[in-house]
């Protein structure tokens, strides 16, 4: 697998993007191990208050430092924008906290090299993947269901941050996202563009520093909120049409019951009739809204240019690692 000098034979063709926030304890090791497989390791320091940038720089990374913390999505998008200055064939994303094993990188990029996929997701939940604690599986399953519902495709580990993509994938990194919802947004967007997605098993380590930096409950609810908004934006017919159809069908059923002389719940005839009419009208409006928004969404997506979209609310001032001074 390696050349005589100990290098990975494709290291010059692989770029690695690592978003990082207050990860000075782990970023050095992650960068050093990633550099065994890639000549270009880009660390995007998302406004860290510690020595994340300096540690990554000493480990040999190309470091970009955000002027303020803008969230994971903003950091990832900034890393992809930097690819304009990089010669690459495959781009790999991984986390900075040490959960991912860079040694799994050859397995993750393999489907890209054989042109079997445009995006490869390292999965903890398929055969050969990591042993994940039950409490983590429960939360992941909820997020997986929401993401798969929005994408219309079944992915076993939608929240995995260990991914690889080809140039076609990079050209489609033109969607908007914020915070930790970028993994789900990427899947939904790529599916809507017809890109090929596959998964390979990876191992992870949960025995890492800083693993409780964010409250998992609040982060989970925040992700669900973002996913619901994402589904409404990307699949409005599903978001509005399905509830509208159910509402309209309920109204029609109530109307038929009234015509048959059955008034439910002891309601008056007038109240039952008004309720049935309201449900039918609201249901019809929701279906029409879903159809209209679906058409509008397709038009908007068709007008989006193929350039990584830097989003997230943070100032985009970036300090090159070579000039970092504290």
The pLDDT tens digits of the residues spanning 185-199 come to 999 999 999 999 999
Strands 90-93 and 14-20: parallel
Over the stretch 269-300, which tens digit does the pLDDT of each residue have? 788 888 888 988 887 887 787 667 566 665 55
Q: Which two tokens stand for residue 19?
A: 């978003």
pLDDT at position 326 is 40
pLDDT at position 166 is 97
Map 200-258 to HEC letters.
Answer: EECCECCCCCCCCCCCHHHHHHHHHHHHHHHHHHHCHHHHHHHHHHHHHHHHHHHHHHH
Chunked into runs of 10 residues, the chain (326 residues) has average pLDDT values of: 60 95 96 96 96 96 94 94 93 96 96 97 91 76 84 93 97 85 92 96 84 56 61 65 81 83 77 86 79 62 49 45 44
pLDDT at position 154 is 95
Contact 157, 125 (CB under 8 A): yes
| 199-215 per-residue burial string, b: 16 or more CB within 10 A, e: under 16 | bbbbbbeeeeebeeeee
pLDDT at position 9 is 72
Sheet holding 14-20, edge to edge: 197-201, 119-123, 163-165, 90-93, 14-20, 40-45, 62-66, 318-320
Q: What share of the chain is helix, strand, coil (3-state, %, to 5)?
A: 50, 10, 35
Verdict on whether the full-model pTM lies above 0.85 = no
Residue 68 neighbours by CB distance under 10 Å: 13
Residues in the chain: 326
pLDDT at position 297 is 61
Strands 90-93 and 163-165: antiparallel
Contact 81, 143 (CB under 8 A): no
Over the stretch 89-134, which tens digit does the pLDDT of each residue have? 999 999 999 999 999 999 999 999 999 999 999 999 999 887 877 7
How many angstroms separate the CA atoms of 273 and 20, rounded? 59
pLDDT at position 219 is 58
pLDDT at position 115 is 96
pLDDT at position 286 is 75
Contact 76, 182 (CB under 8 A): yes
Helix (H) or strand (E) holding 43: strand 40-45
């Amino acid at each position: 697998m390696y050349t005589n000098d100990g290098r990975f034979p494709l290291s010059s063709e692989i770029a690695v993007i690592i978003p990082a926030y207050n990860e000075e304890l782990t970023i050095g090791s992650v960068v050093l191990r990633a550099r065994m497989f890639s000549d270009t390791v880009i660390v995007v320091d998302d406004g860290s208050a510690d020595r994340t940038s300096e540690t990554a720089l000493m480990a040999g990374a190309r470091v970009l430092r955000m002027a303020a913390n803008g969230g994971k999505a903003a950091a990832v998008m900034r890393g992809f924008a930097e690819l304009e200055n990089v010669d690459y064939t495959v781009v790999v994303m991984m986390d900075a906290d040490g959960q991912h094993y860079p040694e799994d990188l050859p397995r993750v990029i393999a489907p890209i090299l054989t042109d079997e996929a445009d995006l490869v997701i390292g999965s903890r939940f398929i055969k050969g993947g990591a042993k994940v604690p039950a409490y983590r599986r429960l939360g992941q399953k909820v997020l997986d269901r929401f993401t798969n519902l929005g994408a219309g495709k079944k992915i076993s580990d939608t929240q995995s941050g260990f991914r690889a993509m080809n140039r076609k994938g990079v050209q489609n990194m033109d969607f908007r996202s914020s915070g930790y919802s970028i993994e789900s947004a990427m899947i939904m967007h790529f599916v809507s563009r017809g890109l090929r997605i596959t998964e390979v098993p990876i191992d992870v380590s949960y025995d890492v520093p800083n693993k409780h930096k964010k409250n998992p409950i609040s982060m989970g609810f925040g992700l669900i909120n973002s996913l619901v908004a994402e589904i409404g934006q990307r699949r409005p017919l599903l978001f509005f049409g399905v509830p509208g159809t159910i509402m309209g069908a309920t109204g029609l059923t109530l109307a038929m019951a009234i015509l048959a002389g059955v008034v439910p719940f002891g309601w008056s005839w007038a109240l039952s009739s008004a309720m049935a009419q309201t449900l039918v009208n609201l249901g019809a409006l929701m279906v029409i809204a879903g159809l209209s928004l679906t058409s509008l969404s397709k038009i908007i997506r068709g007008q989006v240019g193929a350039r990584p979209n830097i989003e997230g609310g943070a100032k985009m001032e970036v300090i090159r690692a070579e000039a970092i001074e504290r």
